[in-house]
Amino acid sequence: MTDPDVPTGEAADRLAIRDLVDAWAHCADRRKPKDQAALLVPDGTVEVYQGDLTTSEPVQRLRGHAELAEAFAALDNYDVTTHFNGQSTITLNGDRATGESYCLAHHLFLENGQRTLMVMSIRYLDTFARYEGRWLFEERKLVIDWTDKRSSAG
């Protein structure tokens, strides 16, 4: 007998993918680079773009868990971060999906002895795959739409 309160089918897939997006932000903020890298299929890729990806080349390309975990460890350069996920869209197609999600990434750090806050408006353009029974990222294109950096009195 199935529990009517537990989502199944498309609803379960959408929830699992949203949980994946949120797990990415959690791992980034809690400094868990290996766990964050494990949210991608083994040969998964991340590409970073400064501005519109249709008019620019990626400024960074990463592939595979080891390379990704090493890159994610760079977040240790900040005293603290908070990735706040916003709206997202998901298009399901069997064991694959695509989506776009928005994030405001807050970074606090010292710069020239001054506490500084940098906020980045990020969009992720994602390809997801059901891998070994769970949804993972196959590809993430991280698009930095804008950045605001200022002193923080905090």
The per-residue pLDDT for 143 is: 97
56-85 per-position pLDDT tens digit: 899 999 999 999 999 999 999 999 999 999
Q: Which of 5-14, 45-54, 92-101, 142-151 has the lowest mean pLDDT?
A: 5-14
Beta strands in the chain (DSSP E): 40-50, 60-63, 80-93, 96-111, 114-131, 134-151
Q: Are 101 and 88 in contact (CB under 8 A)?
A: yes
Q: What is the pLDDT of residues 110-146, one digit of tens each?
A: 999 999 999 999 999 999 999 999 999 999 999 999 9
**Over 90: is that where the pLDDT of 7 sits?**
no
Task: List the domain boundaries for the chain.
Answer: 9-151
Q: Which amino acid is at 69?
A: A
Pick the CATH number of 9-151 from 3.10.450.50, 3.30.70.141, 3.40.50.1480, 1.20.1250.20: 3.10.450.50
Distances (CA, A) of 65 to 38, 43, 46, 92, 122: 6, 7, 11, 25, 22
Supply the pLDDT for residue 78: 96
Residue 12: strand, helix, or coil: helix
* CA separation for the pair 62, 52 (Å, rounded): 19
Span 31-41, mean pLDDT? 98
Indicate if the pLDDT at residue 1 is higher than 70: no
Name the nearest CA neighbour of 99 among 124, 63, 133, 130. 124
